[in-house]
Structure 1
Amino acid sequence: MLTGLLAMTVTLMIWSGFFISLRASSQSDLTIADIALIRFVPAALLFGWLCRHKVRHIFQTPKRYLALICWGAGLPYLLLAGYGLHYVPVADGASLIPGILPLLVSGIAVVCFGEPLSPMRRAGLVFIALGVVCFVAKSLAGGQPGMLIGYAILLLASFSWAWFTIAMRVSGLSATEGAAVIAISGCGLLLTGFLSQTMTFNLLSVDSQEVMYHFLVQGVGVGIVSSLCYTLAISRLGAEMSAALGAFTPVLAALMAIPLFSEPLTGQTMIAMALIVIGALTASEVMPIPINKSKIVKKAMR
């Protein structure tokens, strides 16, 4: 369990940098496709090499799990998160994506797998829902309907990540194998976007220092280190607890955004963040909720 907690701590630091990086890219000439290229190519080279003898095992994994892993943590997720952060501040985006993850993971567990909800978990999920309502109310009160679009996109991104979290847990893939699937699928989709001319790349025309910054955060940090650490945390702590600990991301990201982007924390934002963090921790019940793997394999996603 200690290994899982250490892996999750590293993940939280990198995730905070992830939101900062995406927000910074929205104010530069870099496109989301550029960020994706920086993120997935180095990881694909590394994890592809490490898993070169495990190709058969990876392809023996049920295709529905592979598809959810590719979608939930790969290029589609990155595109959703990136576009969502064009509309909302870092604190909002960092609160919504990892913050409501326990709510979505628990909802999937109940609806699809028949898992029960304890009173403590229910209370935690209510706190999370109230936090989301506070964010929406802030947008409406401020006369910024465009932010509602951002919130909707970020909720979809979190929903995608929730399915990845569960699929990774029940797939039987190791942390390295899961990271390889995410990175290589991302590269394949990027190539498809380039050939079909549906994605724009400006990487070669951007200042090299800016590219290096995103390379360190996205390519090394998110693409390699956090992919490995989060999948390791899921295997050691479970999907529920990993999702709950991820709720600490907005606190770190919001503090980083204050000096970098001059995004002050309003009282309503802090209340919403507090509700989501408290709810996530309460819903996790400190211990991961056991999932009957054989039951899931038989019943899930028929």
Structure 2
Amino acid sequence: MSETSALSATGATESRLVGVTAALATVCIWAGWLIATRYAMTSSFTAVDIGLMRFVVPFVLLAPIWIRKGIWPKGLSVTNGILMIVGSGAFYTLMVASALEFVPASHVGILLPGVMAVWAVLIAMLLFGERPGKVRIVGYAAVVVGVASLVALKPAGVISDDMLMGYGLVSAGAFMWACYTHAMRQSGLGALEAASFVGFWSFVVMAIIALFTGTTIGDAPMGDIMMLLTAQGLLAGCVAVITYGLAVRHIGSTGASAFGAMTPALTALGGVILLGEPGNLALVLAVVLVILGVMTASGVFRRARI
């Protein structure tokens, strides 16, 4: 092997290592966000408190971007802008946080990526005329079966009204994120630009809501506040944007999506170990089916055969 070829191979290996590391970091942050939110919603915090702490950090840290680009970037349509703010910002956070008051983090970790994948393809079919192939349809079917298997977590398949409400809120949140995904693709914004745009307007919205509802942050333990500011604002709001971008750059969007499908497993594991949530074979089945379904629908296995 020539010196040039050796250097090229070394560079490719290092690039892939960076991508894999960044993807793993992203997935851990996403799972940690759900676990931290579940903890907060079952302690002394409200959904509004979580929203404030989720967006105050990107509002401040990404200020140089929204100051330079403007609070409404040039060329961004009103429709796409509103869908981005609603789909991944204040309203999405309120929806998911409210769901985590009623549903374990292990369930939400399965439902969010699974139902979002189904919503995303339905939107693409209805609005953009996309037609998924047979392999992708099999993947989406596996997701649906995996989500449905969560019913087996309750004795005799009975789910309380509160859990039904939580599942409904999660499904609505997944629909919001699917809308955000399509709007983001059409917006022309980079990852950090989108994060600063959503962070600015979401913090403004949360601050206005807090004026009417009040907040309990001042009465909460400082350790919990710092934990949530770190997990919600710094890691989920800023760091994950960067690490996911690195993952896409070095291992491609398909590879990054494959790692993203690990979120249900990590969230379920964290919910059982850290929060003491119940776990059984039905939960394992749901995790496996959703992971395989999302990976199949995203074309990961097809890419692996090439």
Unaligned runs of 5+ in 2: 1-14
Secondary structure in 1 matching 2:106: helix
Deviations 1:158-190 (A, max 9, x none): 111111112112211011110011111111111
Q: State which drifts further: 80-89 or 259-268.
A: 259-268
Secondary structure in 2 matching 1:226: helix
- Equivalent residue number for residue 266 of structure 2: 252
Please, which of 98, 107, 112 is the counterpart of residue 92 of structure 1? 107
- TM-superposed deviation, 1:242: 5.5
RMSD across aligned C-alpha pairs, in angstroms? 2.5
Please tell me whether the aligned partners of residues 175 and 229 of structure 1 are also in contact (alpha carbons under 8 angstroms).
no
Aligned residue pair count: 286
Please, which of 272, 283, 286 is the counterpart of residue 300 of structure 2? 286
Residues 14-25 of structure 1 aligned to structure 2 (within 5 Å) = 14-25=29-40
Moved over 6 A (4+): none
Counterpart CA distance in 2 for 1:288 and 1:164 is 26
- Equivalent residue number for residue 5 of structure 2: none
Residues 257-272 of structure 1 aligned to structure 2 (within 5 Å) = 257-272=271-286
Residues 1-302 of structure 1 aligned to structure 2 (within 5 Å) = 2=16, 6-55=21-70, 58-136=73-151, 138-139=153-154, 141-195=157-211, 197=212, 199-230=213-244, 237-238=252-253, 245-286=259-300
TM-score, with length taken from structure 2:
0.85
- TM-superposed deviation, 1:119: 1.1
Pick the structure with greater CA Rg. Answer: 2
For 1:170, the aligned partner's letter is Q
Secondary structure in 1 matching 2:42: coil
Unaligned runs of 5+ in 1: 290-302
Counterpart CA distance in 2 for 1:152 and 1:29 is 23
- TM-superposed deviation, 1:5: 5.4
Counterpart CA distance in 1 for 2:53 and 2:176 is 21
Deviations 1:189-227 (A, max 9, x none): 1122133x1x33111111111111111111211111123
TM-score, with length taken from structure 1:
0.86
- TM-superposed deviation, 1:69: 0.9
Counterpart CA distance in 2 for 1:75 and 1:31 is 13
Counterpart CA distance in 2 for 1:143 and 1:166 is 33
